Structure 1
């Protein structure tokens, strides 16, 4: 835990470190992947590495955690750690990998900041890193224990039993346990699994996909939109009878433990966590008010369009509003609109829990809209499989 002296040093050096974080994280990843190329090919999302999104996410996490040591906010800290811990658990991250990250991160800090990294400065940032790492390691150990596995041992093979085309560029896969009379583990509505695939260059890349079926089913179902090298492999190479290497379910975008109103807002393939949540609510006859908002390019390319409408229709107090970049005038109504999603004339209960699912830009803009409608920040939750939204107050 940071001492008062270390906290003072952290406060004095945070502006300089924060200004240099983009350079630090770029050098960190370059050094780590040179020493451990298997991490680049088999663990980290190399698409986000190439675009620069992953270094930005790491920089945001470090800066956010550092600021929270100077202005403590337990809720915000828990948000950051829970989200990272669930993602790490779905990848099978273990304690020893934190030592590897520490070695190359601090080499990058010294390389960028040079003589400014005095012994007291190095000591304070070293303590900050291990404070964050120890909290994450403990959270991940708890997630592994709840999943009934030893740390890191989250991977197993599942059998593809069904494949369906649910939009021009989206497929749905159904998995079962390859052992007869054995069910896949249960999950909480809104959770996801990681899927690891072998690529032509020898890499084994991983992506996360939300589970859309019922939690007590012996099968898992998820949908894949064609957008990148992993999804291309799943679209082109995976069919009924094939085995997929998948993780146990993880993720903290789950139904709140109360009966307050819900607002579920998604864009594109971000509808899949919403489908999972609505499926569970429909199965148990949930009677709370539920407002579902969805944005997509067009009706013909919208994945799960009919299923989404049917699930909302099955809820006693369900309402559905949809926005399309383009749509024929004859389908437009109060519930079907064109343009970007907007809350201007949508009734939003101020007590509602908001659950956002979609690309980072969508999450950021919609979070701002809900805050402007006086929804408390702690009731705005989100799911994204890209770099995390780490703006102040997000949840």
Structure 2
């Protein structure tokens, strides 16, 4: 299901449908003429109540299938972000269908959802469960307005969405070698590096006979842990080292709890419990926001722990394309909170044309802290200042010289992404040359403006 996460055990099979697939035009899924008219007439009211619908959906599906509780991010359930993201995705996909064959704006959102589903082991048959309870939630919220005609039209929207995701997930699984029957593989922690007071890096190698998987700079893995009380949860972490190192590395920030609530369950478990030699369940690397080939200049813009995929991209470029110009922009609370800064400068020193612009809310004049490490072969960077410009306050892209023809990559909190993208567009960077990664539910889905 869109924004559903879970791993089943039965053999893969296509979900049952109650009608033949709708026709396509040039590869674009199309609603039947009758359903298109109904969806067009009711899209406004569904959009108005979309968050209410998804809020009703999750309790329904959890009551009927409590085994799925451990497979959804319960932190995002508590904040309401997951239901907002699901609502946005459904409304955006309906708009995509109504726009007709010329519309391609939803394709990046669909790819993003599909990559996450592959990393979590979502199964085709689970879409049937989700569709049943989602349409029931529509009826619960909208009441008598949901006639049989309205129900069937939105059921068609759902199944076009579901079949598009299933097809894309199949392609991704084949490409990355993901086995739906065995998504989780055991990986051993070989190093634990303290990057800041809130951030720790973990080096990982396969604990079994499987070789290290290939991956692209910018991709992530899912990590599943068993929590106190019997719960099991999975989270996604960007790979914070470039391919070719002989191990994978994730860099984990302890997620603070909102409004005095407990800190993030998985990040706290990794920080407090996981030691060198421990085994973690890890998925194959996935993710569609990856470093483009070619020699175009790069602009890497990050905030907080959003620096992690940028480190992998920078490292890959420094090793294979040292002549490629790179501008890095990073925002953080202070130099002490800036994870992997010294590593960024060390890799930047290998580039012919590199500049780092940092914005700190406080402590601009202080040197950044140095990381500490334990484990086999773990080191922390020595730091440096080559090519760095420090600033106070919030990022101002108008103060950053941008190379012509650049490709930009963004990662950080959603308000930061919106501001950064707007700044790049204002500076003349085309929208198709701007890619973004967001940690957690994509509340920007379908409308990155």
Give the counterpart of 1:248 among 284, 300, 305. Answer: 284
Aligned to 1:376: 430
Aligned to 1:135: 164
Aligned to 2:109: 80
Aligned to 1:354: 408
Instruction: Work out whether 1:4 is the aligned partner of 2:33.
Output: yes
Q: Deviations over 1:313-350 (max 9, x none)?
A: 22112211000010244779981001111112212245
Deviation of 1:220 after TM superposition, in Å, equals 0.8
Q: Distance in 2 between matches of 1:86 and 1:8?
A: 32
Q: Deviations over 1:352-388 (max 9, x none)?
A: 2111111222112212222222322222111112121
Segments of structure 1 that go 5 or more residues without pairing to the other structure are none
Instruction: Work out whether 1:38 is the aligned partner of 2:63.
Output: no
Give the counterpart of 1:71 among 61, 74, 99. Answer: 99
Q: SS in structure 2 opposite 1:314? A: coil
More helix by percentage? 1
Instruction: Assess if the C-alpha contact under 8 Å between 2:252 and 2:267 holds in 1.
Output: yes
Aligned to 1:364: 418
Give the counterpart of 1:14 among 23, 43, 47. Answer: 43
Instruction: Assess if the C-alpha contact under 8 Å between 2:356 and 2:388 holds in 1.
Output: no
The 10-residue stretch of structure 1 (82-91 or 205-214) with the greater mean CA deviation from structure 2: 205-214
Aligned to 1:122: 151
Aligned to 2:222: 194
Deviation of 1:49 after TM superposition, in Å, equals 0.5
Instruction: Assess if the C-alpha contact under 8 Å between 1:43 and 1:205 holds in 2.
Output: yes
Instruction: Assess if the C-alpha contact under 8 Å between 1:93 and 1:152 holds in 2.
Output: no
Q: Deviations over 1:188-213 (max 9, x none)?
A: 11110000111112111111111122
Q: Distance in 1 between matches of 2:117 and 2:178?
A: 14
The 10-residue stretch of structure 1 (145-154 or 97-106) with the greater mean CA deviation from structure 2: 145-154
Instruction: Assess if the C-alpha contact under 8 Å between 1:183 and 1:218 holds in 2.
Output: no
1:170–1:334 distance in 2 versus 1, CA, 3 Å? closer
Q: Distance in 1 between matches of 2:199 and 2:178?
A: 32
1:12–1:216 distance in 2 versus 1, CA, 3 Å? same
Q: Distance in 2 between matches of 1:218 and 1:321?
A: 30
Instruction: Work out whether 1:149 is the aligned partner of 2:163.
Output: no
Instruction: Work out whether 1:283 is the aligned partner of 2:322.
Output: no
The 10-residue stretch of structure 1 (59-68 or 384-393) with the greater mean CA deviation from structure 2: 384-393
Instruction: Assess if the C-alpha contact under 8 Å between 1:266 and 1:293 holds in 2.
Output: yes
Q: Distance in 1 between matches of 2:250 and 2:215?
A: 13
Instruction: Assess if the C-alpha contact under 8 Å between 2:222 and 2:236 holds in 1.
Output: yes
Aligned to 2:28: none
Q: Distance in 2 between matches of 1:313 and 1:393?
A: 37
1:120–1:220 distance in 2 versus 1, CA, 3 Å? same
Q: Distance in 1 between matches of 2:89 and 2:447?
A: 13
Q: Deviations over 1:285-324 (max 9, x none)?
A: 3422211100011111211010011112221122110000
Instruction: Work out whether 1:394 is the aligned partner of 2:430.
Output: no
Instruction: Assess if the C-alpha contact under 8 Å between 2:190 and 2:205 holds in 1.
Output: yes
Using structure 2 for the length normalisation, give the TM-score.
0.84
Q: Distance in 2 between matches of 1:140 and 1:163?
A: 33
- Output aligned runs, 1:287-306, within 5 Å: 287-306=323-342
Q: Distance in 2 between matches of 1:393 and 1:29?
A: 24
Q: Distance in 1 between matches of 2:444 and 2:280?
A: 32
Q: How many residues align?
A: 393
Q: Distance in 2 between matches of 1:139 and 1:114?
A: 34
Aligned to 1:337: 391
Deviation of 1:152 after TM superposition, in Å, equals 5.2
RMSD: 1.9
Segments of structure 2 that go 5 or more residues without pairing to the other structure are 1-21, 23-30, 256-263, 368-384
The 10-residue stretch of structure 1 (12-21 or 321-330) with the greater mean CA deviation from structure 2: 321-330
